Amino acid sequence: MAVTDKMPELIGKSPLRVDVHGKVTGAAIYTDDIQFGKNLLYARVKRSPHPHALIKKIDTSKAEALPGVKVIVTGKDYPQRIGLYLKDKNIFATDRVRFVGEAVAGVAAVNEEIAEKACELIEVEYELLEPVFDSIYGASPDAPLIHPDMGDYEVANFIFPKPGTNISNHFKARKGDVDRAWKDCAAIVEKSFHIPQVQHVPIEPHIAIAKTDDNGRVTLWASSQSPFAQRNLIAKTLGISESDMRVIAPYVGGGFGCKAGVTMEAMPVAIALKAKGHPVKMRFTREEEFYTNFVRQGLKIKLKVGCDKDGNMLAMENTMYWDGGASTEYGVNITRAGGYSSTGPFDIPNVKTDSFCVYTNHPIGGAYRGFGMSELHTGIGQVMDELAEKIGMDKVEFLKRNSIQGGDINVTGMKMHPIGLQECIDKVAKGINWGVKEKASSDNKLRGKGIAISWKAPAMPPNAGSSAFIEMNEDGTATVNVGGQEIGQGAFTVAAQIAAATIGLPMEDIRIAGPLDTQYSPYEWQTVASRLTWSMGNAVRFAAADARRQILEMVAEAWDEDVDDLDIINGIVVSYRSEKEMSLKNIAVYGIPKEDDQGWIGGPVVGQGSFMPSYVTGLDPETGQGPRAVVHYTTGAQGFDIEIDKDTGKIEILKAVTAFDVGRALNPELVKAQMEGGMMQGISSAIFEEIILEEGVMQNPSFVDYRIATTVDVPRVMETYFVEVPQDDGPFGARGIGEHPMTPTIAALGNAIYDATGIRLEGPPFLPEKVYLAMKDAGILD
């Protein structure tokens, strides 16, 4: 159904409120009208009530007849598949639905009320299919196929799907000889853990507005971490040239991974293509945000680890079943990241890893802060804790003995770069007063301490690039143009610092251009993977160095001096030889006049820079071995001193300490803020958060029933430390720290609970009732 003239009196006039019967009930003021005009349409989505079913028939006739409805689209209008690493998803469901909440049709109307009513009037006939709700069962040959055509899907060359199964990626790592190593082990621990799905819960839900002009050019305004990836994926899927697709991304009100790639943004674009000249706005409700969008994948992990009598690690077997949900277009790379990081930051000579991404009829699993590392380390950190106890070794000593160090060969055959993990462990152990058994504050409380270590690499394609350009202004200031997004992590601040330090300007003379706009901003792959300080930072550094070179060469020619004798200090070019000085004002744009008015030297200074790692190699699909699987790892440690109330099971964190090797802390306060915020998000996912699913239906899609940590849950004392072992390819030696502080949290808290109670819980959340009942079953409360 295309745009009609059913209600021409509403188009181009003052905004009016129209009820579902088409009656004008009075004036309505929409702030959107200020920017997008009176032609703005509002989009809503018809969603599947079933986890798995064939679509037999869709009848939109009643919805089309509703006054105020302008456009209705279904999967038949757009049968193409979309996806970042695996093209397995339709914009609107075509032949079948695969999770509760999947989009079946989209409606655009003159207001949200009418669009919602139209969705209710769309009639869909389904044929129910057997669903899959368990990842281990889903990986078995007995499970019904959720994507029977998976063998036809386009896939990245480093992802290994298994057509004819529900396994969309199987990452294998084989190092040494695990089977032979077990006989040499003096202690062995085997354990399984289940880490549930959680939500990102950004304060700003997903929202996007799309418009197609009369020439077929599309503009998308979106709350986005990935404007360039969205341009590329949506344009390719809908047959639009990237040059005719523009994405504008203002500041983002919270992302944490859920606004990476393409989630809902293609839907308003698809609708807008059939409503030329009309901006189409789609805004998710909080309920939609909870279960129709990306969630953090669930994980079932089976671990077996062993060491010799002296506590030296000998072997690990790690089998992971990732609950990827109905689409794994992004989740397959989480499985890959879990595979090449499957030992955690431990030096283990014999390893067998199988990391499976499995389709289920659950919500779609996607990028989430930590990208699988919180889930992975939940198991690894706790089995290592038990193994140390079983061999009779102090747990901190065990961690230091077995933690990976520079020069070691990791699970994929990569030589580890220099890191400061040992120092991080020492700082955390000292911070929680490790080795001293301290009394609880009262008789009805139990006290315990726990520590865990973790690592994370930027999970990205081997050729993810960054670019930047810097324009010098007439007054000597500089405007830095980047394509990475500011989502509260301080990326723009760090970009400004790098530019200022490299050119020789005071920080206050740097401006960051915005908002991000793919038509004008330089290319950036995505704002994900804690990579901007490192990757975008390198591009900014190169652009700033280029601008600096142009300035110094211009002045050197004007003064007849050697460039090596010149410097720029606080916006002033100085000569160490002649002691001349010249401000950048005017000369950085207009140049410098030659003597006797005989022409000019220089001109507008625009520095350009780009960066792409060229040294990441492919891995053998059967062994996971290769020279360099990733660009680098950020490593660290975290520890907790806790009390547990025996009457309620409630955990109180008395002290939380975290330490990470950041390479170089370009902005120590931002590093500290990321550590504190990441640790708190980790605490939230450890103690409170869980998407409760029954037969594929989320039971707690609101803040009434889905608890997240607030200020009242902040530990009494939080200490953060950073270690600086420079990264050889990072700007000034820096590497990322945005995601890492939440990756060891669940394991460290699990170890503290065990230290206090002797109970090892199967997985988070460590709710008071769960802890209480576990203590009761263990006889602790008797």
Closest by Cα among 425, 399, 350 to 178: 350
Distance, in Å, from the CA atom of 395 to the CA atom of 378, rounded to the nearest integer, reads: 16
Asked if 161 and 169 touch (Cβ cutoff 8 Å), the reply is yes
> Tokens representing 412?
């994929």
Q: Mark whether 739 is an active-site residue.
A: yes
Q: What single letter denotes the amino acid at residue 638?
A: Q
CB environment 305-331: b (16+ within 10 A), e (fewer): bbbeeebebbbbbbbbbbbbbbbbbbb
Closest by Cα among 673, 633, 409 to 534: 633
CA angle 52, 54, 57 (to 5 degrees): 135
Token pair 């300007």 is found at 505
Please give the distance of CA 215 from its chain centroid, rounded to a whole number: 35
* 3-class secondary structure per residue, 476-489: CCEEEEECCCCCCC
- Sign (positive/negative) of CA torsion 682, 733, 257, 357? negative
Angle between the N-to-C axes of helices 491-503 and 537-559, in degrees from 0 to 180, rounded to the nearest 10: 20
* Cβ within 8 Å of residue 186, ≥6 positions away: 306, 307, 308, 309, 391
DSSP string, 621-655: TTT---S-SSS--EEEEEEEEEEEETTT--EEEEE
Closest by Cα among 87, 64, 603, 16 to 332: 87
* 3-class secondary structure per residue, 397-438: HHHHHHECCCCCECCCCCECCCCCHHHHHHHHHHHCCCCCCC
DSSP string, 571-621: TEEEETTT--EEESTTHHHH-EEPGGG--EE----EEEEEE---------T
CB atoms within 10 A of CB 226: 27
Asked if 657 and 428 touch (Cβ cutoff 8 Å), the reply is yes
DSSP string, 239-279: T--GGGEEEEE---S--TTTTSS-SSTHHHHHHHTTSTT--
Distance, in Å, from the CA atom of 470 to the CA atom of 477, rounded to the nearest integer, reads: 10
Distance, in Å, from the CA atom of 277 to the CA atom of 123, rounded to the nearest integer, reads: 29
> Tokens representing 642?
């806790």
Q: Catalytic one among 553, 719, 739, 762?
A: 739
Distance, in Å, from the CA atom of 449 to the CA atom of 434, rounded to the nearest integer, reads: 7
* 3-class secondary structure per residue, 315-332: EEEEEEEEEEECCCCCHH
Distance, in Å, from the CA atom of 723 to the CA atom of 725, rounded to the nearest integer, reads: 7
- Dihedral pair phi/psi, residue 741, rounded to 5°: -65, -15
Closest by Cα among 709, 710, 717, 714 to 766: 709
220: left (phi over 0), alpha (psi -120 to 50) or beta: beta
* Cβ within 8 Å of residue 722, ≥6 positions away: 659, 660, 661, 662, 665, 668, 671, 672, 675, 737
Number of continuous H segments (helices) and E segments (strands) in the chain: 18, 37
- Across 473-564, the runs of DSSP E, i.e. the strands, are 478-482, 510-512, 516-517
Catalytically active residues are 739
